[in-house]
Every structure is written in C-alpha cells, then in structure tokens.
Structure 1
Amino acid sequence: MKTVMITGAASGMGLSATKLFLSKNWNVMMADFNQEAGEKVAAQLAQKYSANQVVFQKTNVASAASVKALKEATTKAFGRVDSLVNNAGIFTKGALHEVAEDAWDRIMAVDVKSIFLTAKYFVPDMIAQKSGTIVNTASISGLTGDYNMAAYNAAKGAVVNLVRAMALDYGKYNIRVNNVAPGPTNTPMFQANPPEVIKQFEAASPLGRLAEPEEIAKVIYFLASEDSNAITGQNIPVSTGFEIYSGQPVQK
C-alpha cells in the first residue's frame, strides 16, 4: 500500500484529495494547521476506512520544526512516503504598495517556503528509495496576472517556476514533480464571497461555472499516480478555462 502526505488536508481541495487517495487504497498522512477540523475529519474517515490508513498531524507548514515533526510522524505511522501533495496555501488582496510586510512574509512562507521545507525533510527518503512523486497546488494566478492580487501572483508565480527546477534536479532519482493550477474553485473559502461576486466569476468562465474540489483532486491523484509516469515539470490548469482568454474585445 502506497502512502501520500497531504498539506492543507482538512478542508477544500486537500480534503477532496484525501478522500480520493483513501478510496484508491493509499495511506494518507493529513497535515493541517486547523487541529480541531483535522482531527474530526480524520476520525470520520478512519471509521469508513481504517485507523491504520489515515493519520492527522497538526502542522505549521511555514515552520521547519513543525515540518520535521510531520516527517517523523509520517515515517512512524507508515514507514515510507511515496507522494507529497503540497496543497496548503493562503491568499491576500491588495496592490503591492498596499500589502503589509507581515502579510507578504506570511504568504511567501505558507505558499512557497512550505514546499522547500517538505522537500528538505521528505525528499532524502525518496532519493534513497529511488522513487516518488510531488504535486504542488499552484494557481492560474501564477500563470497570469490579476488585479489587486500582487502578493498572491508573486507567490504562485514562484511555485509555477519552482516545479521546473525540482523536476530537473530530482528526475535522475525517478522522482516526478508537477503542479496542478486551479482556477476559482467551489471551496468553502470561495463560497464566503457575496453571491453576486460568485455569479460574476461563473459568467467569466467559458463553461459558465467554477471547478469543484473533487475535480482538482482527480488531477492531483493522476499526477501522483503511475498513470502520469511520463509527465514531470508541468503546470496543469484545472480551471474551467479562466486562463485561456487574451482579454481582447469580441470582433464583429
């Protein structure tokens, strides 16, 4: 049985990925900063699957000590890790001059530094076993620019290029690294927007809707599994087409 470690696993896309990996008979180490939600969900999933198949660890992905403890807990619970899903992330609004310094530092730590830390503590074992997959949650906001989202664009843009460097460095160890790049997704966080804002987003999609967390999870699983053995260093948009429009007006 293979093992995956998923950050941001207690809700949204991370929770959908957790459920999908469990349904595919993987062990799952759930990592999340929200201890109450994580423990509750893990207990529910343990009843459906097995307490030996799903474990929760409260984790601050921006802390080296916390990620090191996560690695140790994962090894203790499952012996090895076959896949890392770096899904934890945060968002902040504002033009660059409007972003507070601590908000800038926080988004860079959670969205970018976290990938460095999981690589630092988990990848050496993957190198030793000469196999593994890493899937990072980037964003179409790392592939394009957005109004009033400078810090988020910068953080996700870093993740978009980081995947290429990681794929180059780790390919010789049979470790593949890819990104899923979601667009606006129907998560609890997004649903906190006013209904009129959600409708505007839906109207902006060529498909007329948002992506669902389960749809993102399916691509995460694909990239983590053997079905994608020839794919590495890629950013795969799962966005209902938000990033394909050039912005030019309709020509009559």
Structure 2
Amino acid sequence: MFTERQTIQYNGINIPSIINIPSNPSGAAVIVHGYGGCKEEQLGLAWRAAELGLVTCAIDLHGHGENVLNLEQGIFLDVEAAVDHCRRFGKVAAIGHSLGGRLSLLSRADFAIGISPALSQDYSETTRKVLKDLRNYRVRLDSPEKVFDILKGLPVWEPNSRQRSSIIFGSRDVPEIREACQELSHTDTKLNYIEGALHSDIFFMEATIITVINQLREWFCLQ
C-alpha cells in the first residue's frame, strides 16, 4: 500500500487530499467528510476500503481542514473533481458523511454511499443551533448560516438508475436526516440502519464500516 498527499487541481483551485494506492487497484473510492470535518477524520474508513484493493482519496472540502478557501456553493465541484481525478483507476464510488453524503449522492460517481446524508433542504432552529454551536468554529465561512444556504441551494437528490446508491443512518441521528432517509423506504435505494449511532460518530462505528465494505465488495465484485 502506497500512501501520499496529493493536491487535486481544477479551475485554479487546489483540493488537499490523502490517497491510498494498493497494488493492482480494482477501482477507486472518494471519501468525503461532513460539515466541520476534515479528511483526517475519514482515514480509518479510507484505509479499510483500500484494503479491499480500491484506491481511496480522502479530501478536504472548501473551508475545511487544509483547504484554505472559504465555504461556498462551489463545494459540490470539490467532489466532482476528486471523482474525475480517480477515473484512471476504473469505476469510482463516492462515500460521504452528512453534507459529504449529500454531495456524494449528487456526484457523477458510478456508485455512492451516503452516511447520514443531509438530504433535507430545511432544518429546524434546534438543529441549526447545534451545528452553529458545535461545528461552525471548525469551518472557514463568511456567515454562520452559510451551510444552510448551501444545503438549500443544492439539487434535491432522488434515486436514479444511472448511479447505484446506498444510505446508512443511525437510530439517534439528526431528526431531519433520519426522517428523510426513512422516506426512501419505498424506493430501490438500499437503506441500512445502525442501532445506537449518533450523527457525529456513525462513520467510526464498526457496523457502519462493515456495511460500507460489504457494499463495495458487491459493487466492485471483490472477494
């Protein structure tokens, strides 16, 4: 396994990333953190996916981690640029948590996994206060409401035949996220329910990681 830092460039913008490259890769997975997160939070999940034989690329979105730019609507292009960057390895899965989950599902990736994806357009005052109190200090932004403006401006994600998708959410998730995920029960989207998981820790849980790994095995036909 070869691990290195890479800077993904598009339209003069630099996206910091950490890439794991196994020998003879069978495809790739872009790993996307949530609001207030960073690529380093996702390295455990990225490593487990790389052990399957997939190149994994964990990125810092606009306003997060080592990405020096402020949070903005163009954040969606960070994921698209990373997906395109990984195309040389074969088919690409996008795996994201929360805001990153919404962006992953909306991406051009062949496969997408949303872990507690922020699918709703609007959020309650309680949820807004929690995010502003506990996450805003970790983000470079010009307005305390910026993330909600971005979520409202993103396209509504709907399951489609072009992209195979799977969603994972927790029993103690953010209410709006839990409800939005449950509403997908009538679709062909695979829904995975993690008992006891909070929104903030679900991507660390072994049950979540096993669910992701099993889904990647199926999609990429891996042993």
Please classify the TM superposition score into its range, dividing by the shorter chain length.
0.3 to 0.5
Greater fraction of residues in helix: 1
Give the TM-score of the pair, scaled to structure 1: 0.43
Tell me the TM-score normalized by structure 2. Answer: 0.47
